[in-house]
A and B are shown apart, each in its own frame.
Chain A
Amino acid sequence: MTISAAGTVLAYNVASPKFADIGVGHAYAIILSNQTAADITTGTFTVEGADASANDPCVPGTFAPLKVEPECSPPLGTAAPNAVITVDAQNPIKAHSQCAFAVACPKQFVRVAGTAGTLDILAVVTRLKRTGM
């Protein structure tokens, strides 16, 4: 039994320069999907965010890397690092698998910079504000 989720989610290709407007939902995920039959063992991907343009709320302004807040009481003065995912031989994305994550406190617009290669970089927005779902 499979039912419809149409209308309850939005989905985007967010491989830069494409982007997603996640402001229409309460929750989101960025998904790196390896739909090939081989592990992906290289790649550096930076999550970038942008507020809306001052002239048009539907258009992103300037993108910049999102910052990941250190957790577990970092030393005072610790600079927040960029939201970067590094895929390597020790931390691959296995064949026919995917990696999902979300950066806290994102901007209205998000995208992922990096060489995607055979990786599909997608964003899904759920709990849409307009439908209450």
Chain B
Amino acid sequence: MVSAAGTVLAYNVLSPKFADISPGIAYALVLANQTAGDITSGTYTVQGADASPNDTCVPGSWAPLQILPECSPVPAVASKQVNAAAIVAGGASYAVGHTISLGNGVVLTVATVNAGAVTGVTIANPGSITGTAPVNPVAQVSSSGGGTGATFNLTWVDVADASITFSAQRPLKAHSQCSIAVACPKQFIRIFSQGATSLDLIAVVTRLRRSGM
């Protein structure tokens, strides 16, 4: 048995406590049941936050991390986000770096233009809706520059909060633990608990950037 001291960071991430996972290249969230009884209830939602604009060491606003459901039915509470935006009309008077707001929180950033017409965009904010997706093409609500007239076909995909629910059918067994990681997390993460307080919620950060390990 050798020492791992200095190669990992560990945090209690039961909200309101949190972890800054940016010092490492890899991380895991561990839900540890260190009791002698199974945990058969409770929902644990992984939340993320970017750094505060005023202090990069402090989290800004928290929100549930979103996951793209895979290999399993989409949860009933799923919402939708934009994962692709195809240009239908390029409009006029746009410049690279302008942002285009399309409603429902969707914001695109102009990546390329041709004589003021948009020829390429990236998704700055995928927005969020529940229920039926808006009809395409979608016109802009506003833009950060003087551009007008661009329209887009948006592709909406189902997403859901990154949460784990334990039940009698899916318990966390006594003296066992469950380890997860959500893709594309924020700098700061924590777990919001609606359930058993006997669970230890720990984030482990590995492959630390400063040590090269």
Contacts and interface: CB of A to CB of B under 8 A. Distances in A.
Nearest to B177: A10
A38 interface: no
Interface in B167-212: 175, 177, 179-181, 183-185, 200, 202, 204-207
A129 to B, nearest CB: 11
A3 interface: yes
B152 to A, nearest CB: 28
A120 interface: yes
Contacts of B179: 6-7, 9-10
Taking each of B34, B184, B202, which has the highest tally of chain A beta carbons within 10 Å of its own beta carbon? Answer: B202
Given A2-B24, A3-B25, A11 B32 contact: yes
A26 B18 CA distance: 28
A4 interface: yes
A19 B175 CA distance: 10
Interface of B: 1-12, 17-18, 21-22, 24-30, 32, 34, 57, 175, 177, 179-181, 183-185, 200, 202, 204-207
B34 A35 contact: no
Contacts, number: 133
A5 B207 contact: yes
Interface of A is mostly: strand
Contact of B202 (A8, A25, A58, A122): A122
A68 to B, nearest CB: 13
A11 B9 contact: no
A51 to B, nearest CB: 13
A102 interface: yes
Query: What 10 pairs between A and B have smallest CB-CB spacing?
Result: A4-B181, A102-B3, A5-B26, A27-B4, A11-B202, A11-B30, A120-B12, A100-B5, A5-B28, A29-B4
